[in-house]
Amino acid sequence: MSLTLQSARTGDMLPEHRFGPITRTTLALYAGASGDHNSIHIDIDYARAAGMDDVFAHGMLTMSQLGRLVSDWAGQPNVVALSSRFTAITPVGATLTCTGEITDRFEKDAAYFLRLRLSATIDDGTQTAKGDALIRVS
């Protein structure tokens, strides 16, 4: 049986979400679509001059996938809060694996809420983002 807002309990895991591989084209498109034109993500010459080996993905591209993980499962109108802390750089070529775990279910002001712990990791297991979400069940 698939996990629903009503059936979810502490310790349950959301269906895993994967995104990638993140190519240079992905980064170019994300720069255009997000309006974040910071050259560090799209221009290798600029990145090298700034002391990096290569361009790297926008943190918000990773958070967008944590957002998809949560909204696909919970339905966006039920999402009360979403946060992400970026813990490592996401290199070109990485595929993101996004996971979510129910860490709490509580009642407040006559409504039920679920608290989720979110994580994004890349192929070698490095965690690139940690996150949290709060969902209103009813």
C-alpha–C-alpha distance, residues 83 and 116, integer Å: 10
Binding segment (CB under 8 A) for other proteins, from list 6-14, 55-63, 101-109, 117-125: 55-63
Question: Given CA atoms 52, 53, 57, 59 in this order, what sign does their dihedral have?
Answer: negative
The structure tokens listed for 77 are 């109108």
The single-letter code of the amino acid at 37 is H
Among positions 8, 30, 100, 116, the unique one binding other proteins when judged by CB under 8 A: 30
CB of 39 to other proteins, least distance (A): 7
- Please state the closest distance from residue 45 (CB atom) to other proteins, in A: 12
Q: How far apart are CA 117 and CA 70, in angstroms?
A: 10
String marking each residue 84-103 x if it binds other proteins according to CB under 8 A: xxx-xx--------------
Tokens 């997000």 locate to 34
Annotate each residue in 60-89 with x if it binds other proteins (CB under 8 A) or - if it does not, as one string. xx-xxx-xx-xxx---xx-xxxxxxxx-xx
Residue 15 Rama label (left phi>0; alpha psi -120 to 50; beta): beta
Q: Residues in the site for other proteins, rule: CB under 8 A?
A: 19, 26, 29-30, 32-36, 38-40, 46, 49-52, 58-61, 63-65, 67-68, 70-72, 76-77, 79-86, 88-89
